[in-house]
Chain A
């Protein structure tokens, strides 16, 4: 090892001026995709569930809420729903609020623009109903995903009689998505750090990342399976999660029952 001399060029300082090289659209979009993936990691790091509400309830009611919203034909209900959501939003952390509102407004404005032609033909109903509906649905789902940990959500699936082995697979899948996201982000950084100068073959490098990811995921899956076997896994699996009912749950259920009552009174028919 020591016999080999370090080549001379490695000891000198490099005299290098990089050429102009724009990040391609593909490159940029992949970066943003990956940053979304790695966001799951950051957000789920130390998060606790919203007010300690049982995730089973949040999942059920969010789904129900979105369904009610989409079938409702009364503007009063849609507005009540939006008020309720904004109220819920107040309890979140400020950075979460910003992100949620950004997405919701973004989607709502997009919907509005799409529907604008119908308004020009005199159909104000759809633009007035659909835009707030979209806004509310996106906000509701976002609140759920921002305020509830992944494992609480998957754990809640157990309440709906979904097989345990399926939940285990789902948990492992989510773990891999985040882990692979991080790995590829790391590799992308490595690519960035190494592509000094004009790198025309970024696409091939990115393809390389994808390929490595594929092999990596296969190897990790094999290792994980071996680890499971080493701990006595032979195919059957049971999930144990304690089901507790708290004051916050009660409040949450009451709030949602009110929303449902509201739907029954205002939501079903079009008031003229």
Chain B
């Protein structure tokens, strides 16, 4: 469904992606990992058509995505309906005066009739358990509430691919747990899921495939999640774990955690 071949991208003179090749098929759940500044967010932006490759090609559903095509309104709408993006910073993603309008924005842009829009908004509010926020102003919400609203906005378009940039950041443990469950179910429903995270705790649950970036903005590994998590040397090399991380042996599911001393 998503095919990247030899994609490179740089912000004027700062390189952010270096010769990336990647295939993601329908229904997969993939997680991007890597240290700060390795290019995860940049890759997700590229996948969503916010930026286009400097060199190499990006194909979505068999069709090459180029700047020229994205300038065509009909193509752009069709493409953006199929892929939804929750930004790393939900703040900038919300621009309407009320949460209701915010969630309704996408469906209205798609030209749905108002009764259908209302149904979708209601369902999304309900699904994310944020009915109480309906008439609040998005920019006055807390971080977690904003994230939920941002997710609702994207879901109301019913995308085939859901892209989330560090979705667990800044959420309290219970909300994290809830979001993880939600993403798992979403993926089970046959939708494609692409996330990025630093949070090793939930990785195995969310995704079965991991893509590891290194500091040179290349892909260091692309394999099954279990294998990546076992390869401590690899994780150390890309700075995702340090010596204070260790693995519990003997517990039913093994995981990494941080000792704070």
A contact set with B: CB distance below 8 Å: 1-2, 41, 44-45, 149-151, 154-155, 171-172, 175, 178-179, 220, 223-224, 226-235, 237-240
**Which chain A residue has the least Cβ–Cβ distance from B81?**
A232
Interface hub of A179, A220, A224, A230 (most chain B Cβ within 10 A): A230
Chain B contact patch, size range: 35 or more
The stretch that binds A, out of B56-64, B90-98, B213-221, is B90-98
**Contact in complex: B84, A230 (CB < 8 Å):** yes
Return the contact of A179 from the options B80, B81, B91, B110 (Cβ within 8 A).
B91
Give the distance in Å from the alpha carbon of A237 to the alpha carbon of B110 in the complex: 11
Contacts of B140 in A (CB 8 A): 41, 44-45
Q: How far does the Cβ of A55 sit from chain B's closest Cβ, in whole Å?
A: 12
Contacts of A178 in B (CB 8 A): 139
Give the distance in Å from the alpha carbon of A239 to the alpha carbon of B140 in the complex: 21
Q: Could you list 17 examples of A-B contacts with CB < 8 Å?
A: A41-B140, A44-B137, A44-B140, A45-B137, A149-B137, A155-B97, A175-B137, A220-B92, A227-B95, A229-B80, A230-B80, A230-B84, A231-B105, A231-B157, A232-B76, A233-B109, A240-B108
Give the distance in Å from the alpha carbon of A238 to the alpha carbon of B111 in the complex: 10
**Contact in complex: A171, B92 (CB < 8 Å):** no
Given A2-B243, A45-B140, A178-B139 in contact, is the A228-B95 Cβ separation under 8 Å?
A: yes
Given A154-B97, A223-B89, A235-B73 in contact, is the A229-B50 Cβ separation under 8 Å?
A: yes
Chain A contact residues, majority secondary structure? helix
Give the distance in Å from the alpha carbon of A240 to the alpha carbon of B77 in the complex: 20
**Contact in complex: A231, B50 (CB < 8 Å):** no
**Which chain B residue has the least Cβ–Cβ distance from A222?**
B92
**Contact in complex: A224, B92 (CB < 8 Å):** yes
**Contact in complex: B110, A232 (CB < 8 Å):** yes
Task: Please encode chain B, from 119 to 150, with 1 for each CB lying within 8 Å of some chain A CB and 0 for all others.
Answer: 00000000000000000010110000000000
Task: Please encode chain B, from 137 to 180, with 1 for each CB lying within 8 Å of some chain A CB and 0 for all others.
Answer: 10110000000000001100100000000000000000000000
Give the distance in Å from the alpha carbon of A220 to the alpha carbon of B73 in the complex: 23
Return the contact of A227 from the options B77, B93, B98 (Cβ within 8 A).
B93
**Which chain B residue has the least Cβ–Cβ distance from A219?**
B92
Q: How far does the Cβ of A191 sit from chain B's closest Cβ, in whole Å?
A: 22
Q: How far does the Cβ of A52 sit from chain B's closest Cβ, in whole Å?
A: 13
Task: Please encode chain B, from 68 to 111, with 1 for each CB lying within 8 Å of some chain A CB and 0 for all others.
Answer: 00000100110011011101010111111110010011101110
Contacts of B243 in A (CB 8 A): 2
